[in-house]
Amino acid sequence: MTFINQVVLILNRDLRIEFRSKSLLLSMVIFALLFQVFLQIVFDAKTQAIQMIAPGILWLPVLLSAMLGFNKYGSAERENGALTGLLVSPIDKGALFLGKLIGNYVLVFIVIVTSVPIFFLFLKQPFPASIGLLLTTLLLGSWGFVAIGVFLTTLAHSSSITELLVPIMIFPLAVPLFLAIIQLTEMALFPSLGMGENLWILLLIGYNLIFTVAPTFLFDLLLEV
């Protein structure tokens, strides 16, 4: 079976299981929405203040909700020895990583689609100056974050590293990503700041490439006994 077929096989398996129970997806979406409402209450009336930290408020629910997903997503694989079933099979572990990454991304994408419009609705934000830049940032930024998250969780579950390490390791690794997405989101929301966005987008793309391509190729070597 080709590499792509293996990726699709894993993606299909996980999404079929997730969409059958929907409990993870629902809790991710509800969490993001409630958190958005919470932030709205906390920063109520301080329109000026909100403007300054708007990018953070837009991203925080999305990122935390994504974190919620990393451990739970694909957890069926850790029951009844299903992971052993994969490890004794001829599957390429890079395909396992990529299939999970795409599946996780699908869930986070659904969170973005529901949570970001609410951000504009609740926080009475002006319509973004550049909706194209905002979309690009959302899509690229969440991909990068999901990529590190899935990389760390897959590593933790397939080796002796404990999964408690994931939330500790993810933030230092994600610092360059956060810098880029906050800058870009600010440029997208407020036109006057629009400068040097190409550089940040390049950084984001480079970051995504590293955390997508490297694990895809390394996992098969890393996890081979």
Partner 1 sequence: MMELQNINLFMNDKNVLHSINLQWRKGESIALIGANGAGKSSLLKVLGTLVKPNSGKLKYPSDLSVKEWKKLLGIVFPETFLYHSLTAYENLRFYQKLYGKINKDRIDEVLKQVKLFHVKQEIVDTYSKGMKQRLSIARALLHNPTYLLLDEPFDGLDSESKEILKNMLLQMRQKGTGYILVSHDSEQAWELCDRAVLMHEGRIIAEGKCTNQGYFPFIKRYREIVKEKSS
- Span from 6-14, 28-36, 142-150, 162-170 in contact with partner 1 (CB under 8 A): 6-14
Determine if 21 is a binding residue for partner 1 (CB under 8 A): yes
- Span from 13-21, 33-41, 49-57, 183-191 in contact with partner 1 (CB under 8 A): 13-21
- Span from 3-11, 29-37, 172-180, 181-189 in contact with partner 1 (CB under 8 A): 3-11
Determine if 224 is a binding residue for partner 1 (CB under 8 A): yes
Q: 3-state SS string over the chain?
A: CCHHHHHHHHHHHHHHHHHHHCHHHHHHHHHHHHHHHHHHHHCCCCHHHHHHHHHHHHHHHHHHHHHHHHHHCCHHHHCCCHHHHHHCCCCCHHHHHHHHHHHHHHHHHHHHHHHHHHHHHHCCCCCCCCHHHHHHHHHHHHHHHHHHHHHHHHHHHHCCCCCCHHHHHHHHHHHHHHHHHHHHHHHHHCHHHCCCHHHHHHHHHHHHHHHHHHHHHHHHHHCCC
CB of 223 to partner 1, least distance (A): 11
Among 33, 60, 68, 76, binds partner 1 (CB under 8 A): 76
CB of 88 to partner 1, least distance (A): 5
Among 41, 45, 89, 124, binds partner 1 (CB under 8 A): 89
CB of 23 to partner 1, least distance (A): 11
Among 87, 110, 135, 222, binds partner 1 (CB under 8 A): 87
Determine if 5 is a binding residue for partner 1 (CB under 8 A): yes
